[in-house]
Amino acid sequence: MADTDASIGYGITFEMADLATPTDMTYIAEVKDVTPPSDETDQADASHMQSPNRSREFIDGLTDPGEASFEMNYVPGSPSDKALIAAKGKRKWCRLTFPNGVQTLFVGSRQTYEKSAPLDDVMTATVTFKVSGDPVHTDPTAPRNISAPTITGTAKVGAPLVVDPGIWAGSMRLEYQWKAAAAAITGATGLSYVPVAGDIGDTITCEVTAYNEDFNTMVASAATAAVIA
């Protein structure tokens, strides 16, 4: 029996843009459960006096492209909150990117932005877009970096540096390679690196490479200050 190709939804991203600037996408952070657009085609009754065997006949009518929705962690005043508030009454280009790089793009109008702030649980919001027209479904695309990797910590011998890999769309896994003065550090392939005496005077960077089944994309962090003793 062949192995399944099933996967979990972890890594899906949602972005939206004004119709006039479709490539200027705004990333919506902390999205959780996602429901992609689902269409439904009306059936028009085409029965007539000679319909075979006195049975009704139907033909395809118009297709309703349905809705797209997602649940997210609600952070009042965040860039995502402000973007969703500003989307009221506007048609948006929306883009869902799945971990394997497949994208679903559609024109949508924000219908609901329903927020919940319970006493003893995480604040959440549910967002619904009414889809207009036929969504576009792409073949797998290369991983796309939305927010660049960054290094935190002090560049000092014995003091750990930690990389935040940033935000990626269309990525199934990430790999890391730390570098000193642009040269790869042997064995330094994790989320952190502790500078050694041989690094003194060198700047440290970390290359993050995102992979899906067909493609990979590498982005390097900005360099630290020169390592000190």
pLDDT tens digit string along 55-109? Answer: 999 999 999 999 999 999 999 999 999 999 999 999 999 999 999 999 999 999 9
DSSP letter string, 68-90: EEEEEE--TTSHHHHHHHHTBT-
Beta carbons of 145 and 217 less than 8 angstroms apart: yes
Q: What's the token pair of residue 181? A: 């003065």
What confidence score (pLDDT) does residue 9 get? 95
What confidence score (pLDDT) does residue 132 get? 97
CB atoms closer than 10 angstroms to residue 187? 8
Q: What's the token pair of residue 209? A: 């490479």
Percent of the chain residues past pLDDT 70, beyond the cut = 100
Cβ within 8 Å of residue 8, ≥6 positions away: none
What confidence score (pLDDT) does residue 167 get? 98
Query: Considering Cα of 186, then 192, then 194, then 200, what sign does the dihedral take?
Result: positive
For the residues 185-207, what does the mean pLDDT come to? Answer: 98
Rounded Cα distance between 32 and 152, Å, is 27
Quote the mean pLDDT of the chain: 97
SS3 84: helix
Give ∠ CA 83-87-88 in degrees, rounded to 5: 135
For the residues 126-148, what does the mean pLDDT come to? Answer: 97
Beta carbons of 13 and 167 less than 8 angstroms apart: yes
Rounded Cα distance between 132 and 147, Å, is 29
Kindly report the backbone phi and psi dihedral angles of residue 53, in degrees, each rounded to the nearest multiple of 5, phi listed first: 60, 30
What confidence score (pLDDT) does residue 1 get? 76
Beta carbons of 166 and 149 less than 8 angstroms apart: yes
Residue pLDDT, tens place only, 11-64: 999 999 999 999 999 999 999 999 999 999 999 999 999 999 999 999 999 999
Cβ within 8 Å of residue 215, ≥6 positions away: 101, 140, 141, 142, 143, 170
